[in-house]
Amino acid sequence: MVRGETGRFSGGFPYARVGEGPETLVFLPGVTDPLFDGDYSRVSVRFLRRYYHRFVGEYTVYVISRPRGLEAGKTIRDMADDYARVIGEEFGSASVWGLSMGGCVAQQLAVEHPDRVEDLVLAATGTRLSAEGRELADGMRRRAYDHDWGSIRATVAAEMFPDWRRFVYPPMTATIGRFTLPRPAVPADAWISIEALLDYDGRASVRAIESRTLVIGGENDRFFPPAILEETARAIPGAELHVVEGASHGAFYTHKPSFEKRILAFLAA
């Protein structure tokens, strides 16, 4: 029996829920979120329950995607305002874990709506992309205009893995993946999301964050390298910083046990 559920919150926010814990943990996904149709299946619930198995005893985990059909020019701040409404309506407040672009949204959520955010985990993210990260994201944006989803996924795959998978997965994703992986429900959501990420700079605003904050990312992450992680942690009052040795942008996957151990320790403190 799969314990969990899927659905949509008001405003069209797709979600999947796993766990039965007394605390609520909301996960905000990264920039590739628009590359599937937004409908979480029962199979995805099984996967998420396995992925979050260390959390589901203490937490009820909600993975909340952004709505399909984003308005042109949608900003990170706009997305944060939308999430604030959903969290307020559904939970009142919650601990928030933002990944990559989702971490940028989480930062602004904590800045603009402090009453919605209890503890804040900023994973593989920062107040801005590095110069190298901007080049990578700009390339993804141009491929999104061409509806070249396989190449976008190949770029992300290359940045996630520090080992042999960095060389094997991208060509598989760019070729076989073109026919087997999901496609966006609304193609424009992909480039609108990437443009929002490219435009984001939270260096000044995050100084207003009041939530307990953990900044965690990989030593070899080219989107948000240690210099950006450190800059982000310094800007947020009292923030903790943890850099995962040997990890790239996919530290949450390739170094999952140690990554999650650090997050759980932070949340439990």
What Rg, from alpha-carbon coordinates, does the chain have?
17
pTM over the 0.85 mark? yes
CA gap 176, 99 in Å, rounded: 26
CA gap 50, 56 in Å, rounded: 9
What average pLDDT does range 89-116 have in this prediction? 98
Place of tokens 């995050």: 206
Kindly list the structural domains of the chain, giving each domain's residue range(s) and its CATH number in brackets, ordered by start: 4-268 (3.40.50.1820)
CA gap 260, 251 in Å, rounded: 10
Per-residue confidence band for 181, with pLDDT thresholds at 50, 70 and 90: confident
Judge whether residue 101 has pLDDT over 50.
Answer: yes
Per-residue confidence band for 209, with pLDDT thresholds at 50, 70 and 90: very high
CB atoms closer than 10 angstroms to residue 132:
12
- Residue 163 is predicted with a pLDDT of 85
Q: Which amino acid is at 37?
A: D
